[in-house]
Structures are given as C-alpha cells and as structure tokens.
A = this chain, B = another copy of it.
Amino acid sequence: MSTTKTNPGNYFEDFHVGQIIRHATPRTLTVGDAALYMGLYGPRFAVQSSDAFARTIGYPSAPLDDLLVFHTVFGKTVPDISLNAIANLGYADCRFEKPVYPGTTLSTVSEVIGLKENSNGKTGTVYVRSTGADEKGETVLSYTRWVMVRKKDEASPAPEAVVPALPETVAPEALAAAVPAIDVSRFDTNLSGSPFRWGDYEVGEKIDHVDGMTVEEAEHQIATRLYQNTAKVHFNQHTEGQGRFGRRLIYGGVVISLARALSFNGLNNAFHLAAINAGRHVAPLFAGDTVYAWSEVLDKAELPGRSDIGALRTRLVAVKNRACADFPFKTAEGGYDEGVILDLDVWLAIPR
C-alpha cells in the first residue's frame, strides 16, 4: 500500500486569482544563520557585521542581512508556488519594511494576483504577491514574483488572463521603513571602508566591483538548504545529470547574494538593500563558474522626512567567467551580453 502524503506541488490549474496560500515552515533566524551567511558570501557592510557599529549609529544591534531575510521568506514559497515551475521569470516591487534581528521568526503568505496561460497550452505564468512577517505578524518584506508553471492536463481550459500592473520602481517614500533614524555623524567611514556617501554618487556612474568569486556545489547547496528552499534542480545530480543542463542549477538567490557582497567594493556605505524594483535571472550559474559584478547608478532620491540617509537606485549586474571592466550588459540587438546572469534594479540606502 502506498499513499500520496507527499507534496506534489501545484500545477497551473491549481492556482486561481485571489487565492491565499499560507506557507510552511516558520523559521527563526539566529546569529548562527548570520555567521553561515557570512561564510557563504563574505559581505562586509559594517552595520550588518558589527553590533558595536550598529549600536553606535542607533540600531539596537546588528540587523540580519536583507538578503538572508529575502531568501528565507522566498524559500517558504517554493513547495507551493514553484515546485513544478519551469522558470522563475522575474521579481518586482520588493520592499524591505522592517529591520530583522537574530531571534526573529519569519513566515510567508502569498496571494495569487495574476494568471496567464501560454499560447502553447502547456504552461502558464502565475503572479504571486508574497509577504514575509515576523512572529508578531508584522510585515518585514513583500514582493511580487512571476513564474512559468506546467499544466497538469493540457486539455484543461485556460483561465481568464489577469496580468497585474507592476510599478516600474518602488516609490522613494516607501524605502525608509527598515532603517531606524541613524546618527549619521557617528557613521565612521574608516570602519565602513569608504568615504563615499550619497552625495558622492552621480546618476550614470558605473562601478566595476572588481573581485570574482568561484562557486562550489557544496556552497550553493548549503546556502539553499539554509533557506529551506526545496527546488529539486539545486540538489539532485542523479536527475539533473539527465536534465537540460546535465548538472545542478544554482539557486538564483545565491547569485543575488554574491553580487551584493561583491558590490561592497565600491558601494561600501550602501548598507541597506531597501528595495528590489525589478529583477531577472538572465542565464544560469553552475558550480565552478566565477561570479563578477558591476553597478550603474540609475537614479538618486532623497527620502521624505529623512536627512540621515538617501537612496541610490542602481542596476546590479552579475556576470560569469568574465571581468567587468567593460561593464558587459546588452548587445546592439537588445539581448544580454554573453556571460550576464543577473539584471537587478534596486534601491540602496546610504548615509548622506
């Protein structure tokens, strides 16, 4: 006798607009997770690295890295949203709304906000708005994601197409919530690693983050399990060896974290990832590849009511197996240059 108590994941037909999904498993993040995050990516932003530095400027203690929070909130959605996904198509309108400290328990709820069957009748795009909350029920993070999901039965009728309107960027007034008022006079730029503040960056400026980081199978697997992300393609060489790439695919969040950590070299004081306006994983990353990154300043914004910090809108581009001195991005035809793996449009908070 065998039964199906295991999770088969949801197929395209299983989703309907307005559907609310409460995801398992709530997860308490600790200083243990922070240490492992440090070991896996090597970020060096002073606020997240040092309780003493964080306290000096007004935090109660060092907050957790924003992307550790993002990946944890995201990981919970995988068994319900993307277990049968073919591709993670994009992110938008991701807002970090509250600082998260060790000891916080995160859980995630998603709402289906759009559905559109593809013309091939085999797949469709599912749009979800996912919200991560702490143990008090307060939102720490929310974002929209859309994924291409298989239909279980190609003969099932297409739902009415609903494609949500997505903002091109998060509005500056929505950016400050996760940073307490800081005493910017005590933000020691010797300790933070660079003298450059908000006023020192110009729109159009490009920064080659210089360093490269080679990724190992053990590293991305440990990272992705830490987020309790269960997508099979990241872990199973026995099946992926027979799959489309012949090998395990690295979770896109690993690329984001590596690029963000590399971006310290040139954006040292941009300590808070305040929003992800839009993001695309342009090409896959595999173990043995080396990740480089560069940034372009797309915009600058003052934050309403805040004289301590300002916002830089940057494009963070990750590239594999190719240095970024020439800022590889797009071809004349509009496609991405060879080697580009991530195109992420973000808002960063940085002292003024």
Q: List chain A positions with a Cβ less than 8 A from chain B.
A: 1-3, 5-7, 22, 24-28, 30-36, 38-42, 44-46, 49-53, 62, 79, 102-103, 105, 107, 135, 190-194, 196, 200-202, 204-214, 216-219, 221-226, 228, 230, 232, 235-239, 248, 265-268, 288, 290, 321-323, 327
Contact = CB atoms under 8 A, between A and B. Distances in A.
Given A207-B6, A221-B219, A35 B30 contact: yes
A266 B5 contact: yes
A301 B226 CA distance: 34
A329 to B, nearest CB: 13
B40 A32 contact: no
Given A2-B206, A44-B25, A46-B24, A105 B52 contact: yes
B24 A238 contact: no
A186 to B, nearest CB: 13
Contact of A6 (B210, B226, B238): B210
Contacts of A322: 238
A197 B282 CA distance: 43
Contacts of A53: 26, 105
Nearest to A212: B236
Contacts of A194: 5, 7, 24
Nearest to A189: B24
A210 B216 CA distance: 25
A239 B210 CA distance: 12
Nearest to A238: B290
A237 B102 CA distance: 34
A50 B26 contact: yes
B2 A327 contact: yes
A102 to B, nearest CB: 8
Contact of A3 (B31, B207, B323): B207
Contacts of A216: 216-218, 221
